[in-house]
Structure 1
Amino acid sequence: MRILVAGAAYFLIVFVAGIVLGMIRVGVLAPNLGATIAVLIELPVILVISWYVCAAILRRVPLDSGRNEDVLAGALAFVLLIGAEALFAVGLGGRTLPEFFAHLVATDGLIGLLGQILFAAFPAIQTRRFVQ
């Protein structure tokens, strides 16, 4: 149960922050600087937010690294994030699902995906580095 609570809360809070930052990236930065530069500007901001959100959640919902609860919570958050982004891309962005996945290998999409992988790793990094 702790894995579900921690992973879902982590995803939800960071996803909401990502929506706000994404609107700025798509509406302001990308048209003026290009998609790749816009993602490179957004990425450190969302990663810092993710780091602190993760730490706050782990203080409230401690996870057992010996049982890989931290890895599972990060994986759950990652799956929820990719799923939500796919739904947004298809539902609001007018993309097909194959177009969404194809974009992940474009330069800006790949940079974003690498950031999402770091996002997923933060629970394990923090639990194993700071909690033990």
Structure 2
Amino acid sequence: MPFLPTERLRRKHPPSPSGAPDEAPLVLTEKVGGALLLAAVDAKARALGLAPGQKLADARACLPTLVALEHDGDADRRFLERLADAADRYTPLVALEPPEGFVLDITGCAHLFGGEAALRSDLLRRLAGAGLTARAT
């Protein structure tokens, strides 16, 4: 889930119902030394060329409409843990892969969901329904 931190915040604070068609790009920052760096970016910010590790000042110079919030890694971890707990519907063997994912050992379980492809499809559909971008390999 490459955008887990920003999507967690968007779920918590959905866009206003004003009907504005375009949300501003969102980045999360952390202080490293004396600089504010991007810790996470949303899909829109990534598409515009922003990336974690970039200085916030440089990002704002490129994109003045950028929304920047403080990154809360602990909240991201708690959210990831809740997602992993919910994924135990597929298998009792779920391992966290912080900061953005988890691993399912589906050995002996896939047939219960119609096979690996059907299990993957169901998991991705549920995550998408929760407003999360995910990939499964």
Q: TM-score, normalised by structure 2?
A: 0.28
Task: Decide which structure has greater helix share.
Answer: 1
Larger radius of gyration: 2
Structure of greater relative contact order (alpha carbons < 8 Å, 6+ residues apart): 1
Task: Decide which structure has greater strand share.
Answer: 2
